[in-house]
Amino acid sequence: MKLLLVGATGLVGREVLRLALADARVSQVVAPVRKPLPGHPKLDAPLVDFDRLPPDAPWWQMDAVICTLGTTMKQAGTRQLFRRVDHDYPLAVARLALAAGTRAYVLNSAAGANAGSRIFYNRVKGELERDLEQLGFMSLTCVRPGLIGGERDEARAGEGAALRLLRVLGPVLPRRWRINPAPRIAAALLEAALAAAPGVHVVASEQLA
């Protein structure tokens, strides 16, 4: 399989990249990034501006896309910039890949994704899922983790305390409320891309605990 991975420098994206490069079923990984990645024989990491993606790049034509792009309100600064990263960029990637013949798209979404939600974060995630489904990929999988366990480059306010609490309470909590480790999310994303099962699929947070 030839895999296009967007968001390769984030917590989950790094895990997807690690797994994909080690997987014999994956022959090539193209990971468009804003800053260079360490070299690997199977990796092509072109430097791009996500506001000006090259429509004629040959690497849009792949077997599957895994998208782990995402930010936070704190990092984005405004709702408009948050929507650009968490909705517009993944959708732009999807359109270019689909136009080039890529048949499968796998999204790292979020538990609670709902286009009709009053919560801005959940609404943006849900709108992206809805808009991706309307594009008509042969295979679309939305993986919906809850609180993600792992070491981020930048701490998120309140997340550390929540993670510590859930680690203590994990054994007695329902599976849908437990921490979802980044490697497990990454494995689910990669397996969905490799399987490329026809239709629209959702992997819920309880399946990632």
Per-residue pLDDT of the chain (209 residues; tens, 9 = 90+): 999 999 999 999 999 999 999 999 999 999 999 999 999 999 999 999 999 999 999 999 999 999 999 998 889 999 999 999 999 999 999 999 999 999 999 999 999 999 999 999 999 999 999 999 999 999 999 999 987 764 545 554 545 555 454 454 445 445 555 678 899 999 999 999 999 999 999 999 888 87
pLDDT tens digits, 54-64: 999 999 999 99
Q: The tokens of 130 are what?
A: 């809805």
Looking at residue 58, its pLDDT comes to: 95
CA–CA gap between residue 51 and residue 180 (Å, rounded): 31
Q: The tokens of 112 are what?
A: 């609670």
CA–CA gap between residue 56 and residue 157 (Å, rounded): 40
Maximum Cα–Cα distance across the chain:
52
Identify each DSSP E strand in 49-125 by its residue range: 64-67, 104-108
64 with 23: CB under 8 angstroms? no
Rounded to the nearest 10°, the torsion over CA 112, 94, 53, 61 is 140
Cβ partners under 8 Å of residue 65, min gap 6: 3, 4, 5, 6, 93, 94, 97, 102, 104, 105, 106, 193
Q: At what angle do helices 89-99 and 120-135 cross, to 10 degrees?
A: 10
Looking at residue 50, its pLDDT comes to: 97
CA–CA gap between residue 37 and residue 32 (Å, rounded): 10
Looking at residue 30, its pLDDT comes to: 98
Looking at residue 150, its pLDDT comes to: 47
Active site residues: 121, 125
Q: The tokens of 141 are what?
A: 């999988």
Looking at residue 146, its pLDDT comes to: 84
